[in-house]
Amino acid sequence: MSDRKIVVLSAGLGTPSSSRLLADQLAKSAVEKFGAAGIGVQSTTYELREYAVDIANNMVTGYAAPRLQELLDAVSAADALIAVTPVFSASYSGLFKSFFDVLDKDALAGKPVLLGATGGSARHSLALDYAIRPLFSYLRARTVQTVVFAAPEDWGGDGSAVLARRSDRAAGELAALAGDGPVSEQGRGGIESLSFEEILAQVGH
């Protein structure tokens, strides 16, 4: 059986950024949990800020530059995704949202996704369930139950231990979702994916 492919996306804006630190933490936990489940894994991390100009151009022209297209293809082909964004104004960053705006609308259908976010205080953690998770539900991804938020105090002392435990729990859930097999183009993950229009049509019956 071939290794599962995990794509890790960080929408941090600085160098270094807390979003990248969290992305690395989640990727490390995922590799360990996949390995513990006897699943080989290849993990690749991408910094979205390095694609910011290409993303903006894609939104204007409808054309993805070759470098951006490679990333879009990697996300589409991945067996699982880890996505981390900084939180601004109680929501995901514009860069984070813009990337998923140019991604094919069916690319995440049925795909297991682990969500992470960073912010200046713990109160921003609400954005994960009220803004970020709904975005991925709309894209028909299968998000793991445990989301991971990191505030400044989580990077030292007791906070870092709590963050590591939550990261491990979320990664274990991701491994369980992805462990059934590679995501197929039809019936991804064994579930039926319906468009928003099809869902509305069913509601009317």
Query: Which residues partner with 103 through β-bridges?
Result: none
**CATH number of the domain within which 105 lies:** 3.40.50.360
Q: Quick one: average pLDDT of 171-197?
A: 59
User: Looking at this protein, which amino acid is placed at residue 38?
Assistant: G
Q: What is the pTM of this model?
A: 0.87
The whole-number pLDDT of residue 1 equals 57
Cα(187)–Cα(194) distance, rounded to whole angstroms? 11
The whole-number pLDDT of residue 198 equals 45
Q: Give the model confidence (pLDDT) of 56-93 as tens digits.
A: 999 999 999 999 999 999 999 999 999 999 999 889 99
Domain hosting 14: range is: 4-203
What is the number of structural domains in the chain?
1
